[in-house]
Structure 1
Amino acid sequence: MLRIATANVNGIRAAHRRGFGDWLAGRECDVVALQEVRAQADKLPDAAFGDYHVALDTGSLPGRNGVAVLTRHAPEAVRTWHGAALVGGPPEAVGVLGPVPAADRVPLARGLGRFAAEGRYLEVDLADAPLTIACLYLPKGGLPAELQRPERMREAPDGGARYARKMGFMAAFSRYLVRTRRAAAAGGREYLLMGDLNIAHTRQDLAAWRRNQRNDGFLPEERAWFGQQLSPRTLVDVVRRLHPDEDGPYSWWSWLGQSFAKDTGWRLDYHLATPRLARAAVRAEVDRDFRGERLSDHSPVVVDYER
């Protein structure tokens, strides 16, 4: 059995204060993908990643973004969009991995270059299973200019700039996703994309879907893009496959109000797997809290896969 989790920690230091270290030690995952680590190497808390080997791309923006993949065994290969990562494992400290050999890189799709140093994507080949693990933190985005109403917005209107940026990222990432999935297949590996995709795909993925149809994260064009990434022959939404008729299970709730208590959340955190791997999934759970405390505004999504 392989137990694999994805979690947006919304800051590794804050998550540790809420019990992330104990959750990590006790959940017995074989692989954990993290988003929004939000710490440069010299700011990581002690034992930030427990007894795991880690591949980490902090990105170049202090206090923002950052993705990591934790594994029980040192990965066979690590790839980032800018050709370098931080790697390490017990008992060694996290150290610098040099540029990835050009022959091992999947060429970036047009349009991804401007995002390469932001700490949004990292992938590893497992050493103990024929599997490529990819970790993605997709931009949150915003509203197109025609939907922006200052009186309804927490942020200042931007003329649709954040919306355009997200849509540009998604278009470019679609092209990259095809390439890297095919590269995994050519190497005899299954492919698993995990992370915070900042989109609720269907009405089942958002409790208050009626009032959010004109809000970012549930816009028709975002949902259409998501659907285009899925098919029975390419990538499968693993949690939805295991919970086909269920609303949720949600993985993000606002810190404000009673959203968490009333379970009026969004499903933003996904396992998207190649078909054979998806068929091997036997159990999917969302760890809503840990010992009565939320680790983040997101909760870990944990899936068990038969080997």
Structure 2
Amino acid sequence: MLRVATANINGIRAAHRRGFGDWLAMRGCDVVTLQEVRCPVDALPEKAFGDYAVAYDAGELAGRNGVAVLTREPAAAVRTWSVPDPDRPLPRALRTHANEGRYVEVDLADVPLTVASLYLPKGGLPAHLQDPRRMREAPDGGAKYDRKMAFMAGFARHLASSRKAAAAQGREFLLTGDLNIARARADVANWRRSNQTEGFLPEERAWLDAQLSPRTLVDVVRRLHPDVEGPYSWWSWLGQAYAKDAGWRIDYHLATPALARCAVSAVVDREHAGVRLSDHAPVVVDYELG
């Protein structure tokens, strides 16, 4: 059994204050991927990642982003965007993001599997949907929207390259992380009100669907829970969203088909010891490998 969890922890120091270290020690995961670690390497709390080996790209944006993959044994190989790979150059659209701490990919040492952790930009609304009366932030003319769409276009090429590179080495491929996109109505509690909200725009959903197919990548949680609302993995801190389970499913395991067929259980750890670890919750999948 291989247990893999993905979690946007919204700051490693805050997450530890809420019990992340205890969750990590008790949950029995073989691989844990993290997003929004938000901490320079030299400021990490003691035993920030427990007893795990860690591949971490903190990025260069103070207090933002940062991705990691934690493994029982040191990874056989680690790839980040901040270290150029002459054999697999980044698509042009991703080069401005190379030092932002948004992607790390490892080859496991004991299983023929490549695991990646992605933090995809949240984005914003296109210019024609921006109404100052309904926005918490000042209108930006669609700049954040354009940035996210360019990122997604570049990442689609990078994702295909990574998946094919893993296959060439006899490895399955698993993309995990916070994609900041809900795929369908079942992935957003209040989907009618969200049709013109970043993260649920038709073009964002179409892009995510285009990355999936029975021959490329499979949405593992949806495969195991085809007929349920959610299970959601993010809830606003505001109001009663969490208490009413009015959330979004934006944290994913996207696996190559053979690996997806090995998935036997997928759960969302809404809280640990009665406490939310973040505004996101870990998504934990058990893979029964042959």
Say yes or no: TM over 0.5.
Answer: yes
| Residue from 205, 209, 217 that aligns with 1:223 | 205
**Who is 1:70 aligned against?**
70
Per the TM alignment, residue 110 of structure 1 is displaced from its structure 2 partner at its CA by 2.4
1:234 counterpart = 2:216: yes
TM-score (norm 2): 0.99
SS at match of 1:263: coil
- Deviation by residue 1:139-169 (Cα, 9 ceiling, x = unmatched): 0000000000001001110000000000000
**Who is 1:261 aligned against?**
243
Per the TM alignment, residue 82 of structure 1 is displaced from its structure 2 partner at its CA by 1.9
1:50 counterpart = 2:32: no
Distance 1:163 1:109 in 2: 19
Distance 1:260 1:221 in 2: 27
1:109 counterpart = 2:91: yes
**Who is 2:131 aligned against?**
149
1:295 counterpart = 2:243: no
Distance 1:56 1:157 in 2: 34
**Who is 1:24 aligned against?**
24
SS at match of 1:248: coil
Per the TM alignment, residue 62 of structure 1 is displaced from its structure 2 partner at its CA by 1.1
Per the TM alignment, residue 43 of structure 1 is displaced from its structure 2 partner at its CA by 1.3
- Deviation by residue 1:32-84 (Cα, 9 ceiling, x = unmatched): 0000000001111111000000000000011000000000001000001121x
Q: Percent identity?
A: 72
**Who is 1:161 aligned against?**
143
**Who is 2:37 aligned against?**
37
- After the TM superposition, which residues 76-225 of structure 1 pair with which residues of structure 2 at under 5 Å, given as runs? 76-83=76-83, 102=85, 105-225=87-207
Unaligned runs of 5+ in 2: none
- After the TM superposition, which residues 260-279 of structure 1 pair with which residues of structure 2 at under 5 Å, given as runs? 260-279=242-261
What code does the residue aligned with 2:138 have? Answer: A
Per the TM alignment, residue 118 of structure 1 is displaced from its structure 2 partner at its CA by 0.3
**Who is 1:9 aligned against?**
9
What code does the residue aligned with 2:38 have? Answer: R
Unaligned runs of 5+ in 1: 84-99
Runs of 4+ in 1 over 3 A off after TM superposition: none
SS at match of 1:262: coil
Distance 2:213 2:13 in 1: 37
Provide the aligned C-alpha RMSD in A: 0.8
Per the TM alignment, residue 107 of structure 1 is displaced from its structure 2 partner at its CA by 2.1
SS at match of 2:206: helix
SS at match of 1:34: strand
Distance 2:123 2:217 in 1: 23
Distance 1:111 1:199 in 2: 19
TM-score (norm 1): 0.93
